[in-house]
Amino acid sequence: MSADANFDESRILVLNRLIDAPREKVFRCWTDPELLPQWFAPKPWTAPRAELDVRPGGTCFVVMADPEGNEYPNPGVYLDVVPNERLVFTDAFTAAWEPSDKPFFVAELTFADEGGKTRYIARAKHWRVEDKLEHEKMGFHEGWGICADQLEALARTL
């Protein structure tokens, strides 16, 4: 049974990539607060700050900045962490189990060995179809694709 068997496919966006780096390194790029800012925002955007408490119930707080320097904070909470295999986090909570003002999505990331490389699948599961469509218009495929390229480039240097 697929992980999405009970979830409405019309609310999911998926990025599926084969990354030329071992999954331990790809996972580390997602979970090390020194590494995540190096690749997380699609250039020319940046991620000037990342605070990561990588455990179920732990907070993740990443600030993205546009080229003009305007900052966009992204608070969230980890729901599931399986080292080198899976990360699940959401913006539905801001810290501990404090509800956010407007939950947007749950991110489910999986990392699997594939011929010395990593099968990296990012699923953005939205509460509403409208949120999924908004995420698409914001540039999900292009932005997350650029970030995956940047993630791969960094992971290959570790």
DSSP 10: G
Kindly state the percentage of the chain with pLDDT values over 70: 96
Digit-coded pLDDT (tens) for 56-110: 999 999 999 999 999 999 999 999 999 999 999 999 998 878 999 999 999 999 9
Question: Residue 129 sits in which domain range?
Answer: 13-155
Q: Quick check: is 109 in a domain?
A: yes
Q: Quick check: is 142 in a domain?
A: yes
In angstroms, what CA-CA distances link 52 with 3, 21, 69? 25, 22, 22
Q: Quick check: is 8 in a domain?
A: no
Q: How confident is the model at residue 6 (pLDDT cuts 50, 70, 90)?
A: low
**Length reported for the chain:** 158
- For the chain, what is the domain count? 1
In angstroms, what CA-CA distances link 19 with 53, 62, 150? 25, 23, 10
Beta bridge partners of 74: 62
Q: Quick check: is 100 in a domain?
A: yes
Structure tokens that stand for 116 in this block = 């010395």
Strand-by-strand arrangement of the 12-19 sheet: 12-19, 117-126, 105-114, 86-90, 71-82, 59-65, 46-52
Structure tokens that stand for 124 in this block = 């953005």
Q: Are 148 and 117 in contact (CB under 8 A)?
A: no
Q: Quick check: is 151 in a domain?
A: yes
User: What is the CATH number for 135?
Assistant: 3.30.530.20
Q: Quick check: is 7 in a domain?
A: no
Q: Cβ neighbours of residue 12 under 8 Å, at least 6 residues apart?
A: 4, 123, 124, 125, 126, 132
Q: Are 48 and 61 in contact (CB under 8 A)?
A: no
Q: Quick check: is 44 in a domain?
A: yes
Q: How confident is the model at residue 1 (pLDDT cuts 50, 70, 90)?
A: very low
The pair phi, psi for residue 150, each rounded to 5°, is -65, -40
Q: Quick check: is 2 in a domain?
A: no
